[in-house]
Copies of this chain bind each other. A is one copy, B any other.
Amino acid sequence: MTSEHGDANFYAIIPAGGIGSRLWPLSRADAPKFLHDLTGSGHSLLVETWNRLEPIAGENIMIVCGKAHAKAIAKELPTLTSDNTVLEPSPKDSTAAIALAAAILVRRNPDAIIGSFAADHVIEDERRFAAAVNEAIASAGAGYIVTIGIRPTSPSTAFGYIESGEPLEVPKAAHALRVVRFVEKPDLETATEYVDGDSHLWNAGMFIAKASVLLDELRANRPDVADPIEEIAAAWDTPHRAAVVERVWPTIPAVAIDYSIAEPAAEHNRLAVIPGDFRWDDVGDFASLARLHTHGRANVLATLGENTRVLNEGSSGVVVSQTTRLISLIGVKDIVVVDTPDALLVTTSAHAQRVKNIVEQIRRSGDDAVL
């Protein structure tokens, strides 16, 4: 059951859905966050995600994305086959995306173990990542639904946390722990206790399980989601796919996998967590992007963009440019400047979360061309 890539039954699923509105005007409806190179590697986050999973999953990587992005994704991932692409007619949140992929895969391979990994997160130290995923696959093989929780390095109030319990003693998964419960984004005091303690991990939204186990859990909790998903999956590899998708997809309730599967599974003691000791960030806003590139050092000005030209006198923060304009910054601290052909954003790390208010203002004004 093992190949050169580890477990031959393992399939990685990459839901490539979110736009990343808090990274506007860099992220747009037609250029979502996962298509951007936010690390300066020369690759989009999507390609980095793919490259990180390929040593573990080989060619068994399935992308779930909106129809509007199919062309851009195919360009990024030339080896991606149509068999491994699920095009969503409309966004239905993470449960539909992951469960449909799982339901398609379990019909192709009843022993399929699936792992879902966001298309737009940043991970450093790929060996530790692979080690954690392999422990997660082993735990999934033992029947658990498994998540990988990141050991927190700061009292972040931007992430949800996972409270871990006793060791599970799963073969080939020495670090597997029972999940006690999920905790929503905490306040700073609570987050500080979590970092000082030993039992709380960041919820990075990674889920690994036997496809059959995952779908059973979904059916138990949300049959209204499971039923239409199964109906579409049954038609997927047949000539009826298009017709069934067109008829059934719009009826699927949109719900996050955290609520439909992960939290109930934790309550039922079916959820395991593998602690991950690698650098992880969801790069959810420009403060996070700045932190990623300045490594938290004050007085550093990070610049991103292929042709970015910056002159700086005593400024710090981050400049992202998609133009060739000369950008001059004087004496502005923790600044965020995002320079695109049709929109400019100037803010500070402290206000990075408010970008979504601006996006909301633009949406209300009907000026969708810049969104």
Interface centre among A311, A314, A326, A355 (most CB of B within 10 A): A326
A115–chain B nearest beta-carbon distance, Å? 37
Interface centre among A328, A329, A341, A342 (most CB of B within 10 A): A328
Say whether A106 faces chain B, with CB atoms less than 8 Å apart: no
B residues less than 8 Å from A350 (CB atoms): 331
Q: Is the CB of A330 within 8 A of B347?
A: yes
Residue of B nearest to A347 (CB): B330
Query: 1/0 per position for A327-358, CB-CB distance to B under 8 A?
Result: 11111100101010111111110110011011
Q: Is the CB of A335 within 8 A of B331?
A: no
Tell me the bound Cα distance from A345 to B311 in angstroms: 9
Copies of this chain, complex-wide, total 2
A75–chain B nearest beta-carbon distance, Å? 27
Q: Is the CB of A327 within 8 A of B354?
A: no
Given the known interface contacts A326-B342, A342-B325, A343-B326, the answer about A331 and B348 at a Cβ–Cβ threshold of 8 Å is yes
Tell me the bound Cα distance from A313 to B330 in angstroms: 22
Contact of A370 among B25, B326, B341, B354 (CB under 8 A): B326
Contact of A328 among B311, B335, B358 (CB under 8 A): B358
Residue of B nearest to A337 (CB): B346
Contact of A344 among B25, B325, B343 (CB under 8 A): B325
Residue of B nearest to A342 (CB): B325
Tell me the bound Cα distance from A370 to B311 in angstroms: 13
B residues less than 8 Å from A4 (CB atoms): none
A328–chain B nearest beta-carbon distance, Å? 5
B residues less than 8 Å from A355 (CB atoms): 328, 330
Tell me the bound Cα distance from A260 to B104 in angstroms: 89
A contacts, CB < 8 Å to B = 25, 311, 313-315, 325-332, 335, 337, 339, 341-348, 350-351, 354-355, 357-358, 361-362, 367, 370
The 10 closest A-B pairs by CB, nearest first: A331-B351, A330-B347, A326-B343, A330-B351, A328-B358, A328-B345, A327-B344, A330-B354, A329-B346, A326-B370
